[in-house]
Amino acid sequence: MSEQTPEEIVRMAQERVAARKVVARRAIPWGPIFLGSFSALLLALLFSPGMPLEWKMYAVVHGICAQQHNIFVGGLQFPLCARNSGIYLSFMLTFIYLYAIGRGRAGKIPPWPISLLLVAFVGIMAVDGFNSLFLDLGLPNWYPPDNFLRTLTGMGMGITVATALHLVLNNSLRQNVDPHQPVFAHWGEILGIIVIDLLALAAIYGNLGITFWPLAFLAFFGILGVLFLVCLLLTSLLMGYEGKITSLRQLAGPATIALIPTLLIAGAMSWLRFWMESVGLIL
């Protein structure tokens, strides 16, 4: 029997350690734990007493969103302001849309004309944002701002944010990422999500009361979802999942752990803002 080289011994030791880690991860039922944790949080949001549901949602994201220039549908106030409602409602719709059209493993930037449109969405929202800010500061602005424009331009930004985050997650974590598949391959695909966004916009500003709860929940989970996905990405990388994911079920462990910083950050920011308001530091 030939003697093993030091390099072979080190490699075998590393393989055994990796195998033990895999067995340990499989031994913990992360899937049910994640589903149970998320369900418990959702039930607490829905059924905890003390205030109406829409105000509980408002309080949860109070530290993340400025919640000025608010919008109402059917007499109920959205948990987010007009611009953030547009951004994060569109973010959620875009993320769902990408999986619906089979882009779950897409790892390539869209063709340059579509990419330029995505960049333009950011620029358009920036222009509208500065225009609104100038008015709030009592400075000359270019045109009268309104909530419709805030939400509309925010929706374009939401498409861009979802596209960028989808690419980052896939290229960082997926083993089976498709590097040749663009997130949006042609104009018809991106026009599809634009039409969906415009229908949601029409429901909001047409004051279609029946749509309040689904749209409010999409916006609410959109803003928390971005925070959660960033925490999920960092947690997954720290746990050694880089380039190893072939099924979303494999992310149950990091996803469960990522709930903790997500809740801590959102809760701390909300508490801090309520405290600052209570002592008169901000209005």
Q: Residue 95's pLDDT is what? A: 97
Q: Residue 1's pLDDT is what? A: 45
Q: Give the pairing type, strands 70-73 and 76-81.
A: antiparallel
> What average pLDDT score do residues 168-179 get?
96
Q: Residue 17's pLDDT is what? A: 65
pTM tops 0.75: yes
Task: Report domain extents, the chain.
Answer: 50-278
Q: Residue 20's pLDDT is what? A: 64
Q: The tokens of 25 are what? A: 């991860």
Q: Residue 274's pLDDT is what? A: 94
Q: Residue 28's pLDDT is what? A: 85
If one compares 3 and 146, the residue with the highest pLDDT of the two is: 146
Q: The tokens of 76 are what? A: 């109920």
Whether 208 and 201 have beta carbons less than 8 Å apart is answered as: no
Write the pLDDT tens digit of every residue in 94-113.
999 999 999 999 999 999 99
Whether 76 and 54 have beta carbons less than 8 Å apart is answered as: yes
* H/E segment holding residue 70: strand 70-73
Q: Residue 136's pLDDT is what? A: 83
Q: Residue 54's pLDDT is what? A: 95
138 Cβ contact list (under 8 Å, min separation 6)? none
**Residue 81: pLDDT band with limits 50, 70, 90:** very high
Average pLDDT, rounded, for the chain: 92
Write the pLDDT tens digit of every residue in 33-49.
999 999 999 999 999 99
pLDDT > 70? residue 29: yes
| Matching residue, tokens 């991860």 | 25
Cα gap 244→252, rounded to integer Å: 13
For residue 218, which amino acid is it?
L
Cα gap 193→207, rounded to integer Å: 21
> What average pLDDT score do residues 214-221 get?
98
pLDDT > 60? residue 85: yes
